[in-house]
């Protein structure tokens, strides 16, 4: 699913990943990276301690993990405003912890379903994210 979404990204966009610990946010980020043509030998890992990793691809992917942040001032110290939106794809784990990160974003909520299954709820705010969501829906239906 992440790879399909990544292939449909054509311009800088903000992706907010929401879900409890172990829901699959980093796994989805790995798929998005592959869809953005981040090289397969480039390990995509959660930036839990570094707070941001940058990956080269068709568009650069800025992978944030905001789990350890508790104060909006820490976002400023991290320089988040340069990337939301920026010149690439800003993929933000725990993006729901800080409302107002961006005016245009695709939010992907991941929740546990039956067994090892996951439920994904996608919602777009803004024209860039809305167009991406529509392209992704069409691609996903075609693939199914």
The residue with greater pLDDT, 12 or 96, is 12
For residues 36 and 61, the answer to whether their CB atoms sit within 8 Å is: yes
Predicted confidence (pLDDT) at residue 48 exceeds the cutoff of 70: no
Task: Please tell me the predicted confidence (pLDDT) of residue 134.
Answer: 97
The domain ranges of the chain are: 2-143
Which fold does the domain 2-143 belong to in CATH? Rossmann fold (3.40.50)
Predicted confidence (pLDDT) at residue 53 exceeds the cutoff of 80: yes
Return the residue matching tokens 């796994």. 27
Tokens matching residue 104: 């245009």
The model's pLDDT over 100-131, given as tens digits with 9 standing for 90+, comes to: 889 999 999 999 888 888 999 999 999 999 99
The model's pLDDT over 19-44, given as tens digits with 9 standing for 90+, comes to: 988 888 999 999 999 999 999 999 99
CA torsion 74-77-82-88 (nearest 10°) is: -70
For residues 119 and 113, the answer to whether their CB atoms sit within 8 Å is: yes
Bridge partner list, 110: 120
Give 29's contacts (C-beta < 8 A, 6+ positions apart).
2, 17, 44, 46, 63, 91, 93
Environment class of residue 113 by beta-carbon count within 10 Å: exposed (0-12), middle (13-18) or buried (19+)?
exposed
């Amino acid at each position: 699913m992440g790879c399909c979404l990544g292939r449909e990204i054509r311009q800088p966009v903000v992706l907010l990943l929401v879900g409890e610990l172990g829901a699959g946010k980093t796994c989805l980020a790995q798929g998005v990276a592959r869809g953005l043509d981040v090289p397969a030998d480039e390990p995509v890992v959660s930036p839990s301690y570094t707070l941001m990793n940058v990956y080269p691809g068709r568009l650069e992917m800025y992978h944030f993990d905001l789990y350890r942040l508790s104060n909006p001032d820490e976002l400023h110290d991290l320089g988040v405003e340069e990337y939301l939106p920026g010149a690439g794809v800003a993929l933000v784990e725990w993006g729901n912890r800080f409302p107002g990160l961006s005016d245009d974003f695709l939010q992907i909520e991941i929740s546990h379903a039956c067994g090892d299954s996951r439920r994904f709820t996608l919602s777009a705010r803004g024209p860039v994210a809305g167009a991406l969501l529509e392209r992704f829906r069409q691609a996903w239906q075609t693939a199914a």
